[in-house]
Amino acid sequence: MIKGIVYIILSGMAFFVINFFVKLLGNPDNDLIPHLQKYPAHELVFFRSLVSFLISAAIIRYRGLPLLGNNRRWLLLRGTAGMLALTIFFFTLHKLPLAIASTLQYLSPIFTVLIASRLFSEKVSKMQYFSSLIAFLGVVFIGLNGLSGGFSGQNADLFWMGMGILSAVLSGIAYNAISKLKETEETINIVVYFPMLALPLTGIWCLFDFTFPQGIEWLILLTIGVFTQIAQVCMTRAFLSANTAVVAPFQYIGAIYALLSGWFIFDEKLELASLIGVCLVISGVIAGTVFRAGRKSKKEAELVIDTETEVLS
């Protein structure tokens, strides 16, 4: 259990490093690392995908695995949804306060459950609908605060809030595709489809709007790519090492990282309504995740008991 918690905390820290540097390169007017160039979000996705693809392809070649995997239709869906989700998320990191953009992305577990109920006929309980309502109210609080006074002096931009929610929906689709693939594919084959699809698309996009890296910016871009791989590996090992209900709540420590770094580094002082909204979103998602995992554990326990009873009889 402790091992799983350590892994999920390390994953959250790695994701924080990624989001922090993406925010830094999208809003370079800061005192922490002065004189940085401003990078468009699609170029950050390109460099992130390049590093991830090189690492993943090397592992696949070393292990002698087929690059394109087996269930290519679902792999394509996972890669496309993940690519779009990350690209949109990187844009929201540029357009919204770090804490708000990160919080909207944390809606993805809610959409994962709702989409699973349609794709796999998974039953959604009243508690899960209630937790979704709590998270939605949190988004409403954030949106109302943006309309009334903006975020830390920024203009209200409900369009990018909507795009943040769309990113969470696409992440939910990607997570469901992963659950469909886990029986037929190696983890590294699932991982490689994202950068493999993102590289040509963002590469073409970069031809029209490319910022050539200089000096320390090369190191920052490499850091984004490497920490993406670290975050994915740690998160996977966390959920393999312990029960989902135990480790999932620790995943949302990342929202605290985002809130504090946005406050102290990027001078993003959120109003009370936004803080309430962030808390509601995180509370709703944690409640839904823990309840769902608890139900799954209960069913598995009942199945074991029924099997033992059959053997004994």
Could you tell me the CA-to-CA distances from 275 to 142, 187, 272, 280 in Å, in that order? 8, 37, 5, 9
pLDDT attached to residue 172? 82
Confidence at 307, pLDDT banded by 50, 70, 90:
very low
Instruction: Note if the pTM is more than 0.95.
Output: no
Nearest to 120 by CA among 109, 112, 128: 112
**Candidate from 128-137, 154-163, 172-181, 241-250 with smallest mean pLDDT:** 241-250
69 has pLDDT over 60 = yes
Number of Cα atoms under 13 Å in the Cβ half of residue 25: 29
CB 105 within 8 A of CB 12: no
Distance of alpha carbon 111 from the chain centroid: 12
pLDDT single digits (tens) 203-222: 999 988 888 998 899 999 99
The segment with the largest mean pLDDT, out of 106-110, 214-218, 293-297, 306-310, is: 214-218
User: Is the pLDDT confidence value at 313 over 50?
Assistant: no
Rounded Cα distance, 103 and 5, in Å: 21
Cβ atoms of residues 52 and 225 within 8 Å: yes
Which segment, 30-39, 148-157, 262-271, is predicted with the most confidence on average? Answer: 30-39
Q: What confidence tens digit (pLDDT) does each residue in 237-259 have?
A: 776 565 544 555 566 666 666 66
CA distance 157 to 146: 7
Q: 11-20, 197-206, 251-260, 266-275 — which one is most confidently predicted on average?
A: 197-206
